[in-house]
Chain A
Amino acid sequence: MSKEYFVAVSGQPNCGKSTMFNALTGSTARVGNYPGITVDRTEGRYCSTEFCANLVDLPGTYSLTSYSMEEVVARDVIVDEKPDVVINMLDATSLERSLYLAIQFMEIGVPVVLGLNMMDEVRKKGIRIDSHKLSELMGVPVVECVARKGVGKDELMASVKKVVDETQGKWTPVNISYGHDLDPVIDEMTAMIKKAEFMTDRYDPHWLAVKYLEEDEIVMKNGSKAGPLAAQLVKKVAEVSAHIQKTLNTYPEAVLADYRYGFINSILKQGVISREDNLRFDFSDKIDLVLTHKFLGPLIMFSVMYAMFYITFNIGAIPQGWVENGFGWLSDTIAAILPDGLLKSMLVSGVIDGVGAVMGFTPLILIMFAMLVFLEDLGYMARVSYMVDRVFRMFGLHGMSIMPFIMSGGLPGGCAVPGVMTCRTLRSPKERIATILTAPFMICGAKTTAYLMLVGAFYPENATTVMFFLVLLSWLLALCVGRLLRWTALRGESTPFVMELPPYRIPTLHGIAIHTWDRVWQYIKKAGTVILAISVLMWALMTFPQLPNDRIATYDTQRTQIIHESESWVGTNQEKQIKLDKALSQISYNQGEAALKNSYAGQLSDAISPVTNIAGFPWQANIAFIGAFAAKEVFVSTMSTAYSLGDEDPDNALSLSEKIAADKAWTTPVIWSVFVFLMVYVPCMVTVAVIIRETNWKWGLFSVFGSLGFGFGLSVIIYQVGTLLC
Chain B
Amino acid sequence: MDKLIWLIPILPLAGFIINGLGRNKLPKGLIGSIGTLLVLASFAISVGVFFEVKANYQHHIAIKYFDWILAGPVRIPFEFYIDQLSAIMLLIITGVGTLIHLYSIGYMHDDEGFGKFFAYLNLFIFFMLLLVMGANYVIMFIGWEGVGLCSYLLIGFWYSNPSYADAAKKAFVMNRIGDLGFLIAIFLILNLFGTVNIQEMIKKAQLIHPGYWAVGLAAGLLFIGATGKSAQIPLFTWLPDAMAGPTPVSALIHAATMVTAGIYMITRSNVLFLLSPVVMNIVAIIGLATALFAALIALTQTDIKKVLAYSTVSQLGYMFLGLGVGAFTGGFFHVITHAFFKALLFLGAGSVIHAVSGEQDMRNMGGLRKKLPITFWTMLIGTIAIAGIPPFAGFFSKDEILAHTYEHSKIMYAIGVITAMFTSFYMFRMLFLTFYGKFRGTSEQEHHLHESPATMTLPLIVLAVLSVVGGLINVPAVLGGHEELGEFLKPIINNKFLSEPKEALTPAIEVTLMCISVAAAFIALAYAYVKYNKNGHVPVRDDEERGLLATLSYNKFYVDELYDLIIRRPLDWLSDFFYKVIEKLGIDGLVNGIGAGPVEASKGLRLLQTGNVGFYIFMMVVGIVAILLYSLGLMDKLHV
Report if A and B associate in a common complex: no
Report B's interface with A, CB cutoff 8 A: none
Report A's interface with B, CB cutoff 8 A: none
